Structure 1
């Protein structure tokens, strides 16, 4: 396995994700300062809808990612891939037309109708761009995908800074330029993949057969990914349906802040997969143990950042103070969702256990949905809704780790039990103690935890150096 290639790809991905994080920080921290709570809610509603647009590909992009994973560009059949791309574009137009019809039906208010119309347009741009993005990553050309991400962020960042400078408070303008930015990244992807489009196409029957094969291969991965995002998504749906757009806005701010870390780590899993598909079993096992141990030690230390972050956010956005109280419940997601992204999803893909990943995510989703129903209709408590979602995510991470260890025959257990103990201390301290007293306690707890796991961290550093 080419570790230099992995680090090179990941360094570029880190740069792209850093730019994406900058845009995310601006939209999460500056935009709500300008927009009213309702206006910010509609902006977040659009972002929320775009999260699930991959469903409309019916698994084709994911299937291409799995079947082409580990191949070089010269080893792919370009004519077949181009045919699948054009078929996908065709049925995406049908789905977009249906969303437009719903938007214009008169069943929604003017603002929600606008959000739906722009979602339909974004659907076409996003899924076409992701076809090439997944293909680039499958061929271990992750740098191209990262550059397209940079272009997407830059194309949105420029008008965003102008709107922030002039104090633009119309959420429609933000949605419009966000969509235009996706068009720019699609243009780059099409240009870099033009050799595929220039290769011609196969006959219609063969193209449909290829698409069906890709959908069968990718549907489990798509559904498992969607189920994973719905673990929190179903909670946000319930808040929007039962508390309204204002409460949805407040909840979405807390969710978007915790999403920064999870998005960064999910990029790592996309970079690792094609390289690990080319590795032998011993290399894969060694990499798994190193990644597991490193994340076990480092991720829980992020709890120390909670108090300083909340202090700054409360000063900057006092009208969202209720959102930051919920933030304490969501912080564990940065630990356990991130770990699931690197050592869970990645190695289940490497083992070709997409069905197992789907089952794990569906069960987790059902548990989260149960808490959402109970929290909404029995207790009318947003805290119970999201607390249940976090508990489900922790359970998913523990089970997945044990499953992979058994598949690989790894006898040495990780320290996920210690990470759970630190998490329990953090949640209880954040609820019971004043903010900075809780912070002092967590500094002590994390220091002890780090010292107890120092040997594991040295092992990881030694592995990376080798």
Structure 2
């Protein structure tokens, strides 16, 4: 228990720093960068989100096959050969993107973004390989420092360039690449005993590669489908509206997603721990964790109105699109629960195929809704609203399936959570002031009353865990 709390404290500390830095970047960069340049920076960040899929499930397979293993028990020669092949493949992909960037677009600014994305591929993919080793072997401290180093280098360089008067999206992206480079070097140093050992026979390495990809490919496609649910919508907005509108909507989405950095960090700690947990205890753990995250998440929506007002004052150039936070804020509820609980449990139970099916169904719905909202009726409001509807649908279907596998009943909780989410959207969108906050606050207090016994039990269990420490 002591090691669990220690790892969790490392993760929470590092990601609290990440949230602070990301918040600073989210608030300062659009203030001084300019709407168009910020739009191009967001386009680069969107492309970077998909870099991790260019290994075709290779690293995902390692994560799934070796999750819960001890670092010192790993076959050093085997992983050294895997890293050599993986890095060679990464260099080929990254250089190809840089070389063919001019063929991908005729617009010079977008061509530059493709070149910088190609460089990001070369820096990010090898680090992803090492990250997964650190995560699946529960070396959370080293993983946490890796994340912090990237963020600190990034924010220091961003502030330096802005203070020097260099307000271009290119310098912001270069700052991001420098952060990725430093974190890559640190990760190489931490896993040097494995990565720089004598590689095993190349034919054995290819066989191991095949095993990793065959296991990880389902999870990779699941992750691709998951990201494309929102990604297709964002790309369609960029295609049908100008880059300034894309940047403004992306800012509202970034603010709504800030909490997810923290939640996903906790999920990384949970996976190797749950792999070592007895199946009979998974249901009780799930119910306790669910109570522990849903209570504060639903309560957090109360702060929408004051946050929107402060951001409108701080970022007047984006004020006309900040009202979309009313539609996007509930994203954190469903994505947090999906990342921390549902996905983690499905991976633990090796049900990644079911996760893939759920994500593919949601992606098909996303494409259908986007084609209608964007290309038929050209309605930006419905397009943004569809994001939360789709993520709500995905989380609900996945959790209902999971509940059958671990024998728990979540239907009543799901109905209440969906009701509260739509109540928040309706009151915030149509009222948008303290009246909307008051209506939602009353409903939230009723929710706390309904869940009072679960809350008391959760507090009791947390006290027991603390005593064990």
TM-score normalised by structure 1 residue count: 0.96
Q: Which of 285, 295, 298 is the matching residue for 1:297?
A: 295
Q: CA deviation at 1:99?
A: 0.9
Q: Which residue does 2:356 correspond to in 1?
A: 358
Instruction: Tell me which moved more, 122-131 or 262-271.
Output: 262-271
Q: CA deviation at 1:263?
A: 2.2
Q: CA deviation at 1:217?
A: 0.9
Q: Which of 302, 305, 315 is the matching residue for 2:313?
A: 315
Q: Which residue does 1:260 correspond to in 2?
A: 258
Identify if the C-alpha distance between structure 1 residues 418 and 183 changes in structure 2 by more than 3 Å, giving closer, same or farther.
Answer: same
Q: Which of 336, 357, 371 is the matching residue for 2:334?
A: 336
* 1:284 to 2:282 alignment: yes
Q: Which residue does 1:154 correspond to in 2?
A: 152
In the aligned structure 2, how far is the partner of 1:318 from the partner of 1:40?
A: 14
In the aligned structure 1, how far is the partner of 2:115 from the partner of 2:435?
A: 48
In the aligned structure 2, how far is the partner of 1:399 from the partner of 1:201?
A: 44
Q: Which residue does 2:71 correspond to in 1?
A: 73
In the aligned structure 1, how far is the partner of 2:208 from the partner of 2:239?
A: 40
Gap regions ≥5 residues in structure 1: none
Q: Which of 135, 138, 145 is the matching residue for 1:137?
A: 135
Aligned residue pairs: how many?
Answer: 464
- The secondary structure found in structure 2 opposite 1:415 is helix
In the aligned structure 2, how far is the partner of 1:281 from the partner of 1:292?
A: 17
Work out whether residues 296 and 415 of structure 1, in 8 Å CA contact, stay in contact via their aligned partners in 2: no
Q: Which of 392, 395, 398 is the matching residue for 1:397?
A: 395
Gap regions ≥5 residues in structure 2: 465-469
Q: Which of 104, 108, 129 is the matching residue for 2:102?
A: 104
Q: Which residue does 2:456 correspond to in 1?
A: 458
Work out whether residues 327 and 385 of structure 2, in 8 Å CA contact, stay in contact via their aligned partners in 1: yes
Identify if the C-alpha distance between structure 1 residues 15 and 164 changes in structure 2 by more than 3 Å, giving closer, same or farther.
Answer: farther
Work out whether residues 25 and 155 of structure 2, in 8 Å CA contact, stay in contact via their aligned partners in 1: no
* 1:373 to 2:376 alignment: no
In the aligned structure 1, how far is the partner of 2:177 from the partner of 2:39?
A: 18
In the aligned structure 2, how far is the partner of 1:328 from the partner of 1:398?
A: 21
* 1:415 to 2:438 alignment: no
Q: Which residue does 2:23 correspond to in 1?
A: 25
Q: Deviations over 1:208-228 (max 9, x none)?
A: 111111011111111212211
Instruction: Tell me which moved more, 128-137 or 203-212.
Output: 203-212
* 1:123 to 2:121 alignment: yes
Q: Which of 423, 428, 452 is the matching residue for 1:425?
A: 423
Identify if the C-alpha distance between structure 1 residues 106 and 329 changes in structure 2 by more than 3 Å, giving closer, same or farther.
Answer: closer
In the aligned structure 1, how far is the partner of 2:452 from the partner of 2:250?
A: 36
Q: CA deviation at 1:415?
A: 1.4
Q: Which of 81, 84, 91 is the matching residue for 2:82?
A: 84
Q: CA deviation at 1:236?
A: 0.3
TM-score normalised by structure 2 residue count: 0.96
Q: CA deviation at 1:377?
A: 1.6
Work out whether residues 38 and 246 of structure 1, in 8 Å CA contact, stay in contact via their aligned partners in 2: yes
Q: CA deviation at 1:91?
A: 1.1
Q: CA deviation at 1:79?
A: 1.0
Q: Deviations over 1:14-33 (max 9, x none)?
A: 12112211221122111111
Work out whether residues 367 and 389 of structure 1, in 8 Å CA contact, stay in contact via their aligned partners in 2: no
